[in-house]
A and B are shown apart, each in its own frame.
Chain A
Amino acid sequence: MNALAGTGLLTKLAFRRDRVAVPFWIYLFAVTAIGTAYSSRAAFDTLHKRVDFAASVNKNPSMLALYGPVQDAASVGSVSLWKVGGVASAFVGVVALLLTVRHTRGDEESGRLELVSAGVVGRYAALTAGLITVVTTNLVLAVLVTIGLVALGLPAAGSIAFALGWFAVGLVFAAVAAVTAQLTTTSRTASGLAIAFLGLCYLIRAGGDAGGHDGPTWLLWLSPFGWVSHLRPYAGDDWWVLLIPVVFSAVCVAAAFALVGRRDIGAGLLPDRLGPAEAGAGLAGPLGLAWRLQRGSLLAWAAGFVVYGAAIGGVTANVEDMVGGKSGRDVLEKLGGGQAMVDAFTNVAMSLMALFASAYAVQAVLRLRSEETGRLAEPILATKVGRAGWAAGHVLFAVVGPAVLMALEGVIVGLVHGLRSHDLGGQFPRIFWSAIVQLPAVWVLAGITVALFGLAPRLAAAAWGLLGLFLLLGELGPLLKLKQWAMDLSPYTHVPKLPGAPMRTMPVVGLVVVAGLLTAAGLAGFRRRDLS
């Protein structure tokens, strides 16, 4: 039998299954790129503004670490797309790797692949179909982004280079995920490995960029994100750099195919270890089970928050140097001095971490839904455990988990920055509370997810879309000059902007009440509905 037989059919099936998710992601990313370019274009309409902006960014290690440098201050495109080139491209990579794992290891784990493999489907068909799906998705995104950016009046060559940069990131992480999907037997572990690799690549790029020209810029050549920045869209367009991600991806894909050829269906390369023959004392109730199912993910997130916190804390003190020159310092003094800059930076960093903590919360609540549809809730609910008790075990993680993450973030950033600025007593509490004050907004998102799960379970995954929407509102709202009521839709708008702004109790209490009501409504709805 032809080893690729059935690839076309499986590809069609993959697109049929993802007919909502794939267009959604393409739309979200395209809007992010084009919307940011549109709004920034207006904000940076004169060369003077662009040069000022680029100078301030390129001197600021934290900005450099987070987003990379502005490569050409003279170019409208380079300045406008600076921000999405960094963080958003990482998300393009995350979506590409999740999609790849979903259509390879995910199908294999659920037994769906075995079902279709019995038909006329070759050994390599599933992997090929999965990769075709992801590459096609990224290609469509690249075409749409190019068209959108050119329509805004940006140079065609640069627009193509920018879009191909995203495409290259998608390609690289799809290829990496194709390999990790062969190593492990569960899709969770396969995605986790690929995401960890992506995080490492981002950190390497951040390290290479943070020092500016004098830093270890050779690091950039070790990270896919660095390769893409060497592509220099709108700032020279060095096309040959694209060869590196293409060759890297080809090697990964070849390795993945070689691995598929060597292993049994359903098996991984990393061996399965035996577990205990009897349950430990902790595995005795719904909470014990939730802890077993959620602890790995919480620990991984916590590790990420610690690393990120150390990085943020390490650069916070440098923010004061961002505004250069005597006139700049004078302006700064009027605005409230160096502390105001540090405060503003801390607030931005913590708001960003709040979004990550919210992503964790959404994921923790959605575990309820995946347990339900995976028929793993049924045996538990057939015991004396009631529905509320079962759900509460997982919801607890969505409430306490983000609190742990944000507290860790506050402690790490506070400690590192406090020690570096030799003012631990003064800086630590300011930073710690600016992390903690974000929690009510995070809980609102957890509450929304619980409400969806309880009242409209089929739409539960829409919580991700809402998180994306709130992110866009926060990022683009001020640039698009949206009306206040639209901004108020996002719970993150209501968080007091500590440590710079004064603490306001009412909005915080309001958020907590809303979160509580949503959670209660979701749990009540779940107790009344049929189990699917």
Chain B
Amino acid sequence: MTDAISVSGLVKSFGRTRALDGLDLTVQTGEVHGFLGPNGAGKSTTIRVLLGLLKADAGEVSLLGGDPWRDVATLHRRIAYVPGDVTLWPNLSGGEVIDLLGRLRGGQDAKRKAELLKRFELDPRKKGRAYSKGNRQKVALIAALASDAELLILDEPTSGLDPLMEEVFQRCVQEERDSGRTVLLSSHILSEVEALCDRVSIIRKGRTVESGSLADLRHLTRTSISVELANPPNGLADLPGVHNAKIEGRRVSLEVDTPKLDGVLARLTEAGVRSLISRPPTLEELFLRHYEDETAAAE
């Protein structure tokens, strides 16, 4: 099976700023791929290169087996895109925009559109200027979800949605995946990525810093452990892989590099475990760790 998106060594500069600096990204067909990074990391720039709106300075980019800059017309029939900041024509109604985008993409499912309008509780008769940010986003989302595109490219699609609509969105994306479509989801909302994505790529300053399944990534990170022991532990803080150990008598909390979990647990058992809470790393921590590295490096 070929990859839906395969990017390697992508470079894009605007004047002197290097927005993308050798970025790699692989999205397998049929998966929901999370695309994470702080503001200005280059997520939207990457997406705009994938859409053929920007021309790459260097690097290999392949989208559905084609070149996004050259094969615009053929590729764009097979993708649907939701921009992060949706603007609508002030004098076109939401329903008109949904139909227009559907027709320009080469067809949409009328039944699916009606169903989505109902689920997202959108009044399609309002004019573009009368919609709130969240409702503008719904217009673009419905247009994309009602299309029969193979690949959905969603750039922070839920930044204006309320929690109820966020849930509707998550269910819709799961349905898309179940029906075999590929989704590239750029997001800030980590709970959303955790709930939806099979694999994620984290980028920073135009480079990919982590990529893999959530399980893979967790493996690379630390597990938090809080434990109450029968006897005070000894030498726990000096074990390899242990970080931020706080030992207050028989109460211990620490983080441990997941591969080193064995040794730490053995030592804890020696001291006699009364209660133990272990928590896998959240994406938040994963993300923050890279982000902290960045701020540390900047200082």
Contact = CB atoms under 8 A, between A and B. Distances in A.
B51 A275 contact: no
A378 B130 contact: no
Interface in A281-338: 283-286, 288-289, 292-293, 296
A378 B53 contact: yes
Contacts of B125: 274-277
Interface in B103-160: 103-106, 124-127, 129-130, 140, 153
A530 interface: yes
Given A185-B90, A379-B83, A383-B76, A285 B95 contact: no
Contacts of A504: none
B76 A276 contact: no
B224 interface: no
Given A186-B129, A283-B99, A285-B103, A274 B87 contact: no
Contacts of A531: 48, 53-54
A385 B104 contact: yes
B105 A272 contact: no
Contacts of A530: 53-55
Contact of B127 (A275, A278, A374, A383): A275
A270 interface: no
Nearest to A375: B87
Contacts of B153: 382
Contacts of A286: 104
Given A374-B87, A530-B55, A277 B124 contact: yes
A247 to B, nearest CB: 35
Given A109-B90, A186-B91, A379-B81, A279 B127 contact: no
A106 B124 CA distance: 25
A382 B54 CA distance: 12
A510 interface: no
Nearest to B87: A375
Nearest to B90: A186
A296 B92 CA distance: 13
A528 B55 CA distance: 8
B20 to A, nearest CB: 13
A278 B104 contact: no
B60 interface: no
Secondary structure call for the A interface:
loop
Contacts of A275: 91-93, 95-96, 125-127
Contacts of A293: 89, 91
B140 A379 contact: yes
Contacts of B91: 186, 275, 292-293, 296
A386 interface: yes
Nearest to A387: B72
B186 to A, nearest CB: 14
Contact of B89 (A109, A376, A386): A376
Contacts of A259: none
B290 interface: no
B92 A381 contact: no
Contacts of A185: 90, 129-130
Q: How large is the interface on B (under 10, 10 to 19, 20 to 34, 35 or more residues)?
A: 35 or more
Contacts of A147: none
A384 interface: yes
A380 interface: yes
Interface string A504-532: 00000000000000000000000011110
B79 interface: yes
A415 B109 CA distance: 52
B100 A289 contact: yes
B89 A384 contact: no
Interface in B24-64: 48, 51-55
Contacts of B53: 378, 381-382, 530-531
Contacts of B76: 382-385
Contacts of A387: 72
B72 A386 contact: yes
A272 B130 contact: yes
Given A275-B127, A285-B104, A383-B76, A375 B85 contact: yes
B51 A274 contact: no
Contact of A384 (B85, B96, B105): B105
B1 interface: no
Contact of B96 (A279, A296, A375, A385): A279
A275 B91 CA distance: 8
B77 interface: yes
A278 B101 contact: no
Interface in A374-400: 374-376, 378-387
B126 to A, nearest CB: 6
Contacts of B127: 272-275
B92 A384 contact: no
Contacts of A381: 51-53
Contacts of A378: 48, 51, 53, 83
Nearest to A188: B90
A288 B88 CA distance: 16
B189 to A, nearest CB: 22
Contacts of A276: 93, 95-96, 125
Nearest to B106: A384
A269 to B, nearest CB: 15
Nearest to A280: B96
B195 interface: no
A279 B95 contact: yes
B105 A277 contact: no
Contact of B51 (A283, A382, A529): A382
Interface string A154-174: 000000000000000000000
A280 B97 CA distance: 11
A380 B91 CA distance: 16
Nearest to B143: A379
A139 B117 CA distance: 54
A271 to B, nearest CB: 10
A385 B73 CA distance: 6
Nearest to A292: B92
14 contacts: A188-B90, A275-B93, A275-B125, A275-B127, A283-B96, A285-B103, A296-B91, A375-B83, A376-B87, A379-B86, A381-B52, A382-B51, A384-B74, A531-B53
Interface of B: 48, 51-55, 72-74, 76-77, 79-81, 83, 85-93, 95-101, 103-106, 124-127, 129-130, 140, 153
Given A286-B104, A386-B73, A529-B55, 8 more contacts: A109-B90, A186-B91, A276-B93, A280-B96, A375-B87, A378-B53, A383-B106, A385-B76
